Chain A
Amino acid sequence: MAIKLLGRRQSAPAPVTADEEAWIEIDGLQKFYRPRRSEPTHALSDIGFTVRRGEFVSVVGPSGCGKTTLLKILAGLIPRSEGTVKIAGRDVLKPIPEVGMVFQAATLLPWRTILQNVMVPAEVQRLDASTHRERARDLLKMVGLEGFEDKYPSELSGGMQQRAGICRALIHDPAVLLMDEPFGALDAMTREHMNVELLRIWRESGQTIVFVTHSISEAVFLSDRVIVLSSRPGRIAEIVPIELGRPRDISIVSSDAAGVYVERIREHFNGAGAID
């Protein structure tokens, strides 16, 4: 199914300054939390990596390693202490319209229909309503929510709500899609199904994705590269390229090749406390 408006293959030309190889550029990133009456915490230490345009990168690490902090800095929600953070050539100092985000909870607004929820970023950014409403319908169709446009969130299951959340993150055709443990609240079966769905959506939309998770196998299944963070302060322990070929089938999760990657990543956390 072709989504005409979607993705890098058909979308408007990128800003001239942007480098396709360093679509996301992070260099020398430091983050300190400085509470008023106690010692400052070093949350992120010397983080540096780039993400290619259209790449799928996951960030894994033990609880409290700063992976959500990293994502929030990328989203422009919290300020960095030092270093460079650029998305599509643009310095991220506050939320920028080039970013779409999917949250741990779907965070749909209960007083809006599914279609109206998907339209939220377009409305906020005052984009043309009629073309984006068409696009919202296309996106909903792509994630299998055709016919649910006029339902309210409470009438949808958790997995369906999260799929609507993904549509909302894509409605304004962002340069980068940030995902913060989007399937963490779903049951194992739904989660697996959503992973397969996400790969299909990614293939069709061609979005650049940064995906935060604490499930190693989920990261291996989805990603081109997995960035492994260590704890306190969060620093990059290893960047693991996942050479599993695409398109991927869910059966790959139990393959030996995937097992090797999972083991290699898990090595980092042995002795450093459980990952979850």
Chain B
Amino acid sequence: MTTTKASGKAPGKAPTTGTRRRPRLDLRENPEFALVPAVFVIVLLGWEYLLGPLGVEEYVLPRPSQIAASLGDQLSDDLFWGHLWVTLKESLAGYLIGVVTALVLGTLISQIRLVERTLMPYIVAFQTVPKVALAPLFVVWFGFGITSKIVMAAVISFFPMLVNVIEGLRSADADRIQMLTVFGASRSQVFRMVRLPTALPFIFAGLDIGIVFAILGAVVGEFIGAKEGLGYLLLQTNYNFDISGMFAVLVVLSLLGLVAHFLIRAVQRRFAFWAEDNRVIGA
């Protein structure tokens, strides 16, 4: 590879001789490292300075500086951290319940024909129900506390995980299974040595979509009926016509999803490193 002259403020290039591939900081090969922040800055600047002259009122669409100020107010308020903590608890508890159930059920469905034939019709039928529409029902059943939100987060993160687990455990390469069979592997050895590793990238895709869905489920649950949480805060700011306050909450919710996504990706790179370039469903 020829060395390209570092353009402008391009970060120093580490020699790419390592055995593990890592994203390179060469702006010619990965122009997005410069373009993504550039777009961000341009949009923010346009939003800040062009909307006024165009006649968009601040109380309809507050400017980034106002949102930042609102966000600052929120972050220095203990009440806000309480709301954040509640939503976090609901999302994570629901997420854990949802993905673990999906993992167990998906494994049974993919490995035992009878379980598959018995349960699949119900799962397909239930999958077509718009889960968000169940939120009012859960609030009636489980009350205004965090339980109804946990149930909502669990139900909504369950399906993408289930689909990925089943698909992943089924996509093991026939040649690899035959290879293990010739050497005398039992069914459980085939499962452990080929099926599970093959499914790992799929499982991570399910975990990745699942966490975003879990946060969504918790917030929707809070919309329907709650006394705390970021969804509740969002409604409060809405009633008070505090639009920049709403934006501040939205920024926090997005950051929450983003942090979770990158955490899961980091774990994936550690445990499913061979599949970095593979695209799996919903990834």
Contact = CB atoms under 8 A, between A and B. Distances in A.
Interface of A: 75-77, 95-97, 99-101, 103, 105, 107, 109-111, 120-121, 123-125, 151-152, 154-155, 172
Nearest to B173: A107
Contact of B274 (A100, A110, A124): A110
B193 A152 contact: no
Given A107-B176, A109-B176, A124-B189, A152 B182 contact: no
B181 interface: yes
Contacts of A107: 173, 175-176, 179
B64 to A, nearest CB: 45
Nearest to B274: A110
B228 to A, nearest CB: 44
Interface of B: 19, 173, 175-176, 178-185, 189, 193-194, 197, 200, 272-274
Nearest to A153: B274
Contacts of B194: 109
A95 B180 CA distance: 10
Nearest to B196: A111
B19 A155 contact: yes
Given A77-B178, A103-B175, A154-B274, A109 B193 contact: yes
Contacts of A76: 182
Contacts of B173: 107
B179 A103 contact: yes
Query: Could you tell me the dominant secondary structure of chain A's interface residues?
Result: loop
21 contacts: A75-B182, A95-B182, A95-B183, A95-B184, A97-B183, A99-B182, A101-B183, A105-B175, A107-B176, A107-B179, A110-B274, A111-B272, A111-B273, A111-B274, A120-B179, A120-B183, A121-B184, A123-B193, A124-B180, A124-B189, A172-B183
Contacts of B19: 151-152, 155
Contacts of A152: 19, 274
Contacts of A121: 183-184
Query: 10 shortest A-B CB distances, which residue pairs?
Result: A121-B183, A110-B274, A124-B185, A107-B179, A101-B182, A111-B197, A124-B183, A111-B274, A107-B175, A75-B182
A103 B182 CA distance: 11
A221 to B, nearest CB: 26
A120 B182 contact: no
Contacts of B197: 109, 111
| Chain B CB within 10 A, most for which of A105, A109, A125 | A109
A126 to B, nearest CB: 10
Contacts of A172: 183
A268 B163 CA distance: 53
A183 B18 CA distance: 30
B176 A97 contact: no
Nearest to B183: A121
B13 to A, nearest CB: 21
Contacts of A75: 182
